[in-house]
Amino acid sequence: MAAREALVVHRNISLMLCENPAVLEEILVELDLDELIHQRLGARAIVAPTQELVRLRDALHARGVYPRIVGEVLEPGDEDFADDEDDVAAEEE
């Protein structure tokens, strides 16, 4: 095992911070975070790589939680929608 590092700096990380531990517990009961890469830190916070921010936000929105957002949300292009021509091909099959 390599020597253990004392200070670890994670960059480009998103944070969901709740007012108190009870709010986080309440949210975790309602939220399905299985698909998300994240880590719980302490009693009030969840951290995730920035790439996961939109999915985290959408998961919160889906549960009717509209968090205060600090900073810019960069929307990634996602591949949920096939091209129209692909749709047509799929229908023909």
Partner 1 sequence: MAARQERQRSGPLASSELEAIFERGYAQSSRRFLATLWGGEPDRADAVFASMSEPERVVDALERIGELSRSDRAIFAALSNAGGRARAENLRKELLLRGQGDVSNELRVLARHGVLVVLPSSGQSELDLETVLDQQAFLQQELALTQALIDELDKRGITHSDAEIGAWEGEITDSRVESLQSLELNLLHLAAGLGQDVLRLNKSGAPNRRSLSRFVVGLTRPAATDTHDLWLDIDTPTHANYIGFLFALVRELGLSTVIEDRGLVGQFSGAQAYFTMTDKRRGTRLLQVVQNLKGWSEGLSPSLQDGREQDDVLEAQLSQTRDNGSALIGARGYIFSVLRRANLNGWTPLSAVIELCGQLDRDYLPRVFANAGLSLQVDHYVRAFIVDLLFWIGAVELGKDSQGIEMMRLTPDGQRLLGFKEVDENTQQTGCLFVQPNFEAMVFLDAAPMEVLYRLYQIGERVNLADRVATFKLTAESVQRGYSMGLDAESAIALLDEHSHAPLADLIEFQLRDWERIWGRVTLWSSGMLLRHDDPDRLDTILGQVRHALRDEPLAVERLAAGAVFLDTTAEEEVLRQLERYGGLRIDYLGEVPPALEAIAGMHFAYEPMTADIETVGILKKISNEVRDECTPRRRVVELDPAKLSEYWPEKTFAQIIAFLRARVRGGLPSEQLLQLKARLLTPPQATLLHAVVVVTLDTIEDAQLFGSTEHARACKALQIGERSFAIAQEHLDSTIETLERLGVQMTHQ
Interacting residue with partner 1 among 28, 32, 76, 89 (CB under 8 A): 76
Adjacent-strand bridge partners of 46? 16, 40
CB of 93 to partner 1, least distance (A): 18
Task: Give the contacts of 74 (CB within 8 A, at least 6 positions apart).
Answer: 50, 53, 54
Interacting residue with partner 1 among 28, 29, 71, 89 (CB under 8 A): 71
The CA distances from residue 2 to 5, 7, 9, 11, in Å, are: 9, 15, 17, 22
Phi, psi of 74 (to 5 degrees): -90, 115
Is 5 among the residues that bind partner 1 (CB under 8 A)?
yes
Q: How far apart are CA 47 and CA 13, in angstroms?
A: 7
Interacting residue with partner 1 among 77, 91, 92, 93 (CB under 8 A): 77
Is 29 among the residues that bind partner 1 (CB under 8 A)?
no
Positions touching partner 1 (CB under 8 A) are 1-2, 4-19, 23, 27, 36-39, 41-42, 44-45, 47-51, 53, 56-57, 60-61, 64-85, 87
